[in-house]
Amino acid sequence: MLKLYLYIIAFLSILIIVPAKNKVDFSFDYSQFRADSISNLLEIYYQFNTEVFIDKNNSDLETIAVKIIFKVKDHFSDKLLSSDTVISTYFVYDLIKNVGYRDLKGIYKLLLNSGLYDVSIYLLSPDETEVLFTSTETISVKPFDLSEPQISGIQLSNSISKSDSTKISSFTKNTLEVIPNPSASYSSEFPLLQYYAEFYNIGEKNLTLITNLVSSQSKILYSSTKKIHSVNESIVNVDQINLLRYTSSIYRLQLILSDSISNYAFASEKQFYFYNKYYTNENLGEKNNYESKVISNLFGFMSSEECDDIFEKSIYVATAIEKESYNQLTTVESKRNFLEQFWQKTNESSRDEEHASYKRYMQRIAEADNKFKGMRKSGYKTERGRVYVTYGIPDRIEPYPNESNLKPYEIWYYDRIDGGVIFIFGDLYGFGEYDLLHSNKRGEIYDDTWQRRLYNY
């Protein structure tokens, strides 16, 4: 039986519950690579939303400076070992010229010896008077062995390509430009799981690489095997997996490097989340017991963080009392039961169709994200996204993108609601994100002088 050493990187930034005090969408992830016999290279990948950094009332502003502070403390003594401020300057034009461009990505690298560390990240406001985001992650550093085959941490990526020698990129390493995916999430719109890893101490050895895709129930859904042989002491391994055939869930990517002659194996793992709006049970063609349970109890296998994400997206159909009740829940089982009952109450059909309204709602969430995503927020969080999710697809839309002396606006018509209602949205600031100006739907904004807000003075 092989002696299996596990080097597991199981940090998943999308599953971190960000404290309410954080005022910016900020995701981060990290991986470790070999530096020398006593230290590892820690790479921290991050991305953040640019909304608070763009002053829409100051058209003369050409650049913005973003400051992020990285602090490292010894976990046991709480001694501050390093504090580094990273300042990045961006042209405002580059941030707003493309509709839908909303996130900036970066990478921070540092060398750490063997130990346990608390690494803190602080994102400062433009005037440096406020911390917009802060989070601390405890990271264990164990230098790689110099004799037996080893695998680095796995870096999830959105894109891996040959680097351009004429361009400077902070994401370049080993002749590749590896664009990180700090959110550790993929979707049916972007279903290609790409990843980067390094293999050490493999020179002249005949090794086998096993790549597994493992479900949250520890079931291997995909597995491939290939031989690894090189005269070089270390090599880079990049690959990709198309996730479209899999359902929405948390998965583990597992790489196992084994040597049958010396009875040795070494593994590295990485968690990620995949959302698939197209998935149906027939796509996989499997009728096993696990999938039957998923159909009968949609929320029964969700983690606490997945439940939180689902309920956050349910804000448009949840009452104030339901929101307060959910926020008081502390166990994953109570959250699962709450979601089950919450969505059951919206169905009047048989149990076989009990999640029909939930599926329609989440389909609208996904469509709103795709149709209305902007620089500042997810599509379903925009005004058009909210109306789309709440009331469905309009019967017709009248766009007015180029009216004389008026900013762009749209009129949405819902002929079958309350005898016919309208919603009027305007692009007030020129960012392609339309605000709701007026509606005759009860409970919505009513302003029969809405047109004055669109004048180009």
Q: Give the model confidence (pLDDT) of 360-373 as tens digits.
A: 888 889 888 888 88
Q: Select the more confidently predicted residue: 439 or 17.
A: 439
Same domain (yes/no): 258, 393: no
CB count within 10 Å of CB 343 equals 22
Q: How many percent of the chain have pLDDT more than 90?
A: 42
Number of domains forming the structure of the chain? 2
Q: Return d(Cα 376, Cα 24) in angstroms, integer.
A: 10
- The pLDDT score that the predictor gives to residue 262 is 76
Same domain (yes/no): 108, 239: yes
* Unique residue bearing structure tokens 């070999």: 34
- The pLDDT score that the predictor gives to residue 196 is 96
326 in a structural domain = no
Judged against a pLDDT cut of 50, whether residue 112 lies above it is answered with yes
364 in a structural domain = no
Q: Return d(Cα 288, Cα 120) in angstroms, integer.
A: 44
Same domain (yes/no): 46, 148: yes
Lowest-pLDDT range, 72-81, 86-95, 187-196, 314-323?
A: 86-95
- The pLDDT score that the predictor gives to residue 295 is 34
Name the most confidently modeled range: 70-74, 405-409, 448-452.
70-74
Q: How many angstroms separate the Cα of 368 from the Cα of each of 144, 184, 296, 310, 408?
A: 45, 21, 27, 15, 20
Same domain (yes/no): 259, 373: no
Judged against a pLDDT cut of 90, whether residue 236 lies above it is answered with yes
Task: Give the domain-ending residue among 275, 290, 311.
Answer: 275
The residues, ordered by sequence, that sit 6+ positions from 264 with a Cβ below 8 Å of its Cβ are 2, 3, 5, 148, 149, 258
Task: Give the domain-ending residue among 253, 275, 297.
Answer: 275
What integer is the mean pLDDT of 32-48?
Answer: 95
299 in a structural domain = no
Residue range 182-191, pLDDT digits in tens: 999 998 888 8
CB count within 10 Å of CB 429 equals 15
- The pLDDT score that the predictor gives to residue 24 is 78
Residue 78 — very low, low, confident or very high, per pLDDT cuts 50/70/90? very high
Judged against a pLDDT cut of 90, whether residue 20 lies above it is answered with no
In sequence order, which ranges of 179-319 are alpha helices (DSSP H)?
281-284, 289-296, 304-312
281 in a structural domain = no
125 in a structural domain = yes
What integer is the mean pLDDT of 132-161?
Answer: 92
On whether the CB atoms of residues 354 and 347 are closer than 8 A, the answer is yes
Residue 13 — very low, low, confident or very high, per pLDDT cuts 50/70/90? very low
- The pLDDT score that the predictor gives to residue 17 is 37
For residue 133, the number of C-alpha atoms closer than 13 Å in the C-beta half-sphere is: 21
What DSSP state is assigned to residue 125?
P
- The pLDDT score that the predictor gives to residue 292 is 36
Same domain (yes/no): 261, 373: no
Distance of CA 374 to the CA centre of its chain: 16
- The pLDDT score that the predictor gives to residue 57 is 64
Using DSSP, state whether 10 is helix, strand or coil. Answer: coil
DSSP string for 152-191:
-PPEEEEEEEE--TTS--TTEETTEEEEE-TT-EEESSS-
Greatest CA separation for the chain: 81
Using DSSP, state whether 386 is helix, strand or coil. Answer: helix
* Unique residue bearing structure tokens 């869930």: 249
308 in a structural domain = no
What integer is the mean pLDDT of 327-345?
Answer: 85
Q: Select the more confidently predicted residue: 133 or 263.
A: 133
43 in a structural domain = yes
Residue range 205-235, pLDDT digits in tens: 889 999 999 998 889 998 989 899 888 999 9
For residue 271, the number of C-alpha atoms closer than 13 Å in the C-beta half-sphere is: 15
- The pLDDT score that the predictor gives to residue 354 is 54
Same domain (yes/no): 267, 391: no
Read off the tokens for 223. 């597995």
Same domain (yes/no): 55, 187: yes
Question: What is the residue-averaged pLDDT of the chain?
Answer: 83
Same domain (yes/no): 269, 391: no
On whether the CB atoms of residues 43 and 55 are closer than 8 A, the answer is no
Element (H, E) at 269: strand 264-275
Same domain (yes/no): 259, 129: yes
Residue 191 is part of a domain; what is its CATH number? 2.60.40.10
Q: At what angle do helices 356-372 and 383-391 cross, to 10 degrees?
A: 150
- The pLDDT score that the predictor gives to residue 96 is 66
Residue range 259-308, pLDDT digits in tens: 878 788 899 999 999 988 776 444 444 334 433 343 345 677 678 888 89
Domain with 447 in it: 369-377+387-457
What integer is the mean pLDDT of 62-77?
Answer: 92
Total number of residues shown for the chain: 457
Same domain (yes/no): 261, 406: no
342 in a structural domain = no
Read off the tokens for 68. 């992020």
Read off the tokens for 35. 């530096």
Task: Give the domain-ending residue among 224, 256, 275.
Answer: 275
